[in-house]
Amino acid sequence: MEAEANSGSPEDSWAFIQRPGEGCRTVPLAGHVGFDSLPDQLVNKSVSQGFCFNILCVGETGLGKSTLMDTLFNTKFEGEPATHTQPGVQLRSNTYDLQESNVGLKLTIVSTVGFGDQINKEDSYKPIVEFIDAQFEAYLQEELKIRRVLHTYHDSRIHACLYFIAPTGHSLKSLDLVTMKKLDSKVNIIPIIAKSDAISKSELTKFKIKITSELVNNGVQIYQFPTDDESVAEINGTMNAHLPFAVIGSTEELKIGNKMMKARQYPWGTVQVENEAHCDFVKLREMLIRVNMEDLREQTHSRHYELYRRCKLEEMGFKDTDPDSKPFSLQETYEAKRNEFLGELQKKEEEMRQMFVQRVKEKEAELKEAEKELHEKFDRLKKLHQDEKKKLEDKKKSLDDEVNAFKQRKTAAELLQSQGSQAGGSQTLKRDKEKKNNPWLCTE
């Protein structure tokens, strides 16, 4: 390779060297240079900046999520106990600054309040998915800024999801399967059996096998401890076989022998939290904090966040290469997307204009039809009014005729009565005169 690199003109040699990974030459050093201190520099810089780690605790109310967090970090985190009366699932986030030796850790614990307490659990996973996506979106928006401050940005992306499984001893609930299936592409899921002292050792072993089988059959991808690093390959490979971890949490210290240990006191005996014969708490702490914390952070960035970022940028129209397999220009992508947006805007504007014109025409037609109906109704009422008026006039005329006829008959009757009374009076006078002249008429 050296002969090939040295052959030809200097320009060819320079062009060959500029392609990394295809012809890099290894040359010996004649003395100490100093770049072997880079790891120390990185360590010092990382220690001075501090670290952050974010844990999401998913599980039903009462499975001991807060107690386990207190036990894991050997402290007492402040928080209020959740009730079973929550109307929906809410995510409660608390951030703490921890210090161990000279290493600072900004720890964020996110708990799901009210998870599994509703009668209808169909959408219980949605607030969790939305919260995780919101943290990805916030980081992506920070990356897309012109002036980025990622070195001081508080990374709120979830690095590990401890999924608490109820110690039923039978199988996973449908809620657990659906939720883990929705989360496995967004976060590193570590399933744990909470309050594992509630079931016996034989039942616990069968329960673990049952859980693993159901996860595989339903295609749920849980976090696997990495085995590519030789220094941790053996322990991580062994611990992968112990998943899900059966844990017990307790902040109460009891004197066992000559030592004070975290334990839970029962009437039938004592369960030691840090005794590997009693539970897998030590394994969980070893794998989560002491061995694989950095890998969890790396997996979150390189796998889950990159998947979200890629899908988001593809939705925005960005691509790595054009149809000719050439690098895609950001300016060209922006212009193409802008033109596409303007075209869609004009199309929508034209559609809205046509829709507006159509609705105006429809409204005009409706108004004309209503006006026509109103005129027809007016004509009908007018004709009806005229007919009623004519009937009333005819009736009035008939009544007037009857009144006139009645008056005429009354006048005639009065005339006849007056004539009759006059005739009767004259006949009476005549009889009286005859009686007076002829007295013999009286005897008759």
pLDDT digits (tens, 9 = 90+) for 394-413: 999 999 999 999 999 888 88
Are residues 354 and 221 both part of a single domain?
no
Give the lowest-confidence range in 64-73, 118-127, 250-259, 313-322: 313-322
Whether the predicted model's global pTM rises above the 0.95 cut: no
CATH number, domain containing residue 206: 3.40.50.300
Are residues 146 and 245 both part of a single domain?
yes
Q: Is residue 213 part of a domain?
A: yes
CA distances from 339 to 314, 342, 347, 438 (A): 17, 5, 12, 145
Are residues 236 and 159 both part of a single domain?
yes
Q: Is residue 286 part of a domain?
A: yes
Give the residue from 280, 311, 301, 266 showing the smallest Cα distance to 139. Answer: 301
Domain count, the chain: 2
Q: Is residue 361 part of a domain?
A: yes
Ramachandran bin of 271, using left for φ above 0, alpha for ψ from -120 to 50, beta for the remaining angles: beta
Are residues 179 and 141 both part of a single domain?
yes
Are residues 163 and 215 both part of a single domain?
yes
Last residue of one domain, picked from the residues 316, 351, 376: 316
Are residues 372 and 297 both part of a single domain?
no
Position 10 confidence tier, pLDDT thresholds 50, 70, 90: very low
Are residues 257 and 221 both part of a single domain?
yes
Q: Is residue 78 part of a domain?
A: yes
Q: Is residue 431 part of a domain?
A: no
Q: In the chain, pLDDT over 70 holds for what percent of residues?
A: 90
Position 80 confidence tier, pLDDT thresholds 50, 70, 90: confident
Q: Is residue 383 part of a domain?
A: yes
Q: Is residue 273 part of a domain?
A: yes
Last residue of one domain, picked from the residues 368, 392, 416: 392
Are residues 310 and 364 both part of a single domain?
no
Residue 54 confidence (pLDDT): 96
Residue 7 has pLDDT above 80, yes or no: no
Are residues 110 and 149 both part of a single domain?
yes
Are residues 51 and 129 both part of a single domain?
yes
Are residues 222 and 354 both part of a single domain?
no
Q: Is residue 31 part of a domain?
A: no
Are residues 312 and 344 both part of a single domain?
no
The mean per-residue pLDDT over the stretch 283-298 comes to 94
Parent domain of 272: 43-316
